[in-house]
Amino acid sequence: MSLPLTKEQIHSAIATMGQQARQAAYGLAALSADQKNDILSAMARELRAETETIVAANALDLHQAREKGLSSAMIDRLRLDASRVEAMASGIDQVARLHDPCGEILSEVKRPNGMLIRQVRVPIGVIGIIYESRPNVTSDAAILCLKSGNATILRGGSEAIHSNRAIAVALQKGGESAGLPANAIQLVPFTDRESVVALAQMDRYLDLIIPRGGKGLIETVVSLARMPVIKHYDGICHTYIDSSANLEMAIRISVNAKTQKPGVCNAMETLLVHEHVAHAFLPQLAFALREKNVELRGCERTREILTDIIPASEEDWGTEYLDLILSMKVVNSTEDAIAHINHFGSHHSDCIITDDDNAAKYFLTHVDSACVFHNVSTRLADGEEFGFGAEIGISTDKIHARGPMALRELTTYQYRITGDGVIK
């Protein structure tokens, strides 16, 4: 479709995609696990076969990114080469090996009148995914939706449009050769902002929408959506060092949580330290973090111990740095730590370091986050680390899906009732 498009043309095109996706979803729901796995294997083969085409398309995106002055970090996230295409294909093979949740019987009860009631896991239907930057999300999202029996409409960012188109074409072409219903995977072919509005308002065909990207994108989708949205805004993750913590362990976990990969949503952004161990712990931690080039910011009590660090502002406690920056605060008790986390946190992933099982239990019970850890780095908040396989993101919502969103979270359930002439 030629550009630029009018608002009416965009909404019409998106509506047509929705109709097609709904028909594809009915066909997908009828596929067996073996049939879906055969389709996934064919997708992986086609992706490998089209490596040169995909890399060439990506070169166009990289050229435009440089012309627009995107940062080196953004360009690296955008870049595809043969090894990264192979990683996408290997990811498809991995998903093919995962357990298919569709058809699982969640509960079963026989009623006195003879009705047998089964609660069975089924696909959601049609899922819209709006994302930015990384073209590998095109493959990740499409294959997870397919494995869970869902049709998907993908809307990537303008910076990766050529790459996304090439990947989506390869996935659909490969899948159709093995029985994938037509239009099961569709990529919105244009990047006008109005396409986000059209998707968010298409509750007639779209059962769920998942935004992946910056806070601005997510807030826009949430404000517009007429269907359920699964998302997380920020990853303001905390580690709390309790008075009964093993300090050697606490240093090891804290350094890992902050520095192993600081630009991700499950990296630690704020460290809380019980006042009874602050004087012994903070200098050791500061030394270890400075070796990793971490900028330290602290409350007044922290700066009495670490006199040369930057004062932490009120804004710091609610900031997701995604960088080698850490805010630190000394607290009076576990209750104070929990109050701070529940007030300033993003309900993503938070950890207590302690050898006191009662303190750990209290923390795990009272912190209102999707993932709560005891003596484990927040960097382990990940679907693959949990044994779920690939994930589509981390949800901080409380209804249906919370934490790592894998195949099971892309399903709903249906009641299937059988009997022998039962009437009321």
Tell me the pLDDT tens digit for each residue of 284-323.
Answer: 999 999 999 999 999 999 999 999 999 999 999 999 999 9
Q: Is the pLDDT of residue 2 over 70?
A: no
- pLDDT band of residue 191 (cuts 50, 70, 90) is confident
The pTM for the full model equals 0.89
> Which residues does 194 contact at the CB level (< 8 Å), separation at least 6?
7, 10, 11
Write the burial class of residue 114 (CB in 10 Å: 0-12 exposed, 13-18 middle, 19+ buried).
exposed
Domain 237-385 coded CATH 3.40.309.10: yes
Residue spans of the domains in the chain: they are 7-231+404-418, 237-385
Write the burial class of residue 36 (CB in 10 Å: 0-12 exposed, 13-18 middle, 19+ buried).
buried
Q: Give the DSSP per-residue string, 233-245.
A: ----EEEEE-TT-
Tell me the pLDDT tens digit for each residue of 31-64.
Answer: 999 999 999 999 999 999 999 999 999 999 999 9
At residue 395, φ and ψ (nearest 5 deg) are -100, 135
Same fold for the domain at 7-231+404-418 and the one at 237-385?
no
Q: Is the pLDDT of residue 1 over 50?
A: no
Query: What CATH number does the domain located at 7-231+404-418 have?
Result: 3.40.605.10
The CA-atom distances, in angstroms, between 410 and each of 182, 191, 207, 344, 351 are 21, 25, 11, 29, 27
